[in-house]
Amino acid sequence: MTTSKLFEPQKIGSISLANSIIMAPMTRSRAIGNIPNDLMATYYGQRAGAGLIVTEGTSPSPNGLGYARIPGIFSKEQVEGWKKVTKAVHDKGGKIVIQLMHTGRISHPANMAAGTKILAPSAVKPAGQMWTDSLQMQDFPVPNAMTAEELVSTKAEFVTAAKNAIEAGFDGVELHSANGYLLEQFLSPVSNVRTDEYGGSIEKRAKFVLEVTEAVAAAIGKDKTGIRLSPYGVASDMPHYPEIDAEYDYLSKELNKLGIAYIHLVDHSAIGAPAVPIEIKQKIRNNFKNTIILCGGFTKETAEAAIESGLTNATGFGRPFINNPDLVERFKKDQPISHDLNMELFYTPGEHGYTDFAVYGA
């Protein structure tokens, strides 16, 4: 049996982990009616060997439910549904945090309830299309630029959702400020063309992200609060802009001042996105004194090397956890990893391609 830093216990904020292998957040679209269910509890429970599970993106608000069948955590029914999930993970000795994802302009009315609004920093239409169960593929509409009142109410929704998460038994909260969703939309001068205190300079564009982070940390504890970032990411129509390096230099310094538990930094170059330059990763590592989680395209060997180098404290794995529910055990025992993935089943309802993967040798 192999021994390495990957398998050593560690602590992220106040969360004690059995190992440094993180299950990354992955949208799976199994929450019928946007309510977590028994199937989801089975799925996460199967993967409780991870040192820490970060859930799929979960909306803090009816306005943030951009995709078909993604869960929320703003209603009593959703909180009760998530209790099944956290119990399934905790019963197997695992730890789990919820990722709060307000999709912002990456949305369509067909995926949302009556009376909701598609909100964004500015009324800038994203390029591309998204799936809706009722109308199939649809163009993104022009979103509504958030009013001053909506900035306040949306921040409050994040806080309430974080409190709901603790009530539901989660060990912490990760704020999704990556992949082109609402919080990252504020960071980019392409999606944020506001002329008030939340737009213009790097400091102003980062203001809403930092306010939400500070408010959530104050509500549930900074030791239970993390954030996900994706500099150089192009998901959800987030084009390159010249001041990316300066933006994330500033943001990571300010997040360090807030004292939150971790920054989760994702590099999607393994699936075709631009690579995050090593200089940016090092700058964020130097600026932020608490835990760094790096995610994207790791193997067991490269994950170990990244931790050994000091660039990161833990490494995230996404797709390998889909078809290897026992990924940590396979790594520990040097067992082969399954690469049999059916992308057509990533976002379909039901158990196929979700909970029907066997552990090694079964």
Instruction: Enumerate the active-site residues.
Output: 181
> How crowded is residue 334: how many other Cβ atoms within 10 Å of its Cβ?
9
DSSP-derived letter for residue 357 is P
* Residues 6 or more apart whose Cβ sits within 8 Å of residue 48: 88, 89, 91, 92, 93, 94, 96
DSSP assignment string, 19-66:
SSEEE--------GGG---HHHHHHHHHTTTSSEEEEEEEBSSGGG--
Q: Where are the beta strands (DSSP E) in 77-151?
A: 96-100, 119-120, 129-132, 136-139, 144-145
Helical residues (DSSP H) of 92-243, grouped into ranges: 148-167, 182-187, 202-220
As a whole number of angstroms, the distance between CA 45 and CA 43 comes to: 5
DSSP assignment string, 251-290:
HHHHHHHHT-SEEEEE-GGGGTSPPPPHHHHHHHHHH--S
Determine contact, residues 212/160, Cβ cutoff 8 Å. Answer: no
As a whole number of angstroms, the distance between CA 210 and CA 208 comes to: 5
Q: How far apart are the first and last CA of the chain?
A: 19
Reading the block at residue 29, the tokens are 């679209």
- Nearest CA among 347, 219, 227, 343 for reference residue 284: 227
Question: Residue 287 carries which side chain, given as an amino acid letter?
Answer: N
Determine contact, residues 150/119, Cβ cutoff 8 Å. Answer: yes
- 15 CB burial (10 A radius; 0-12, 13-18, 19+): buried
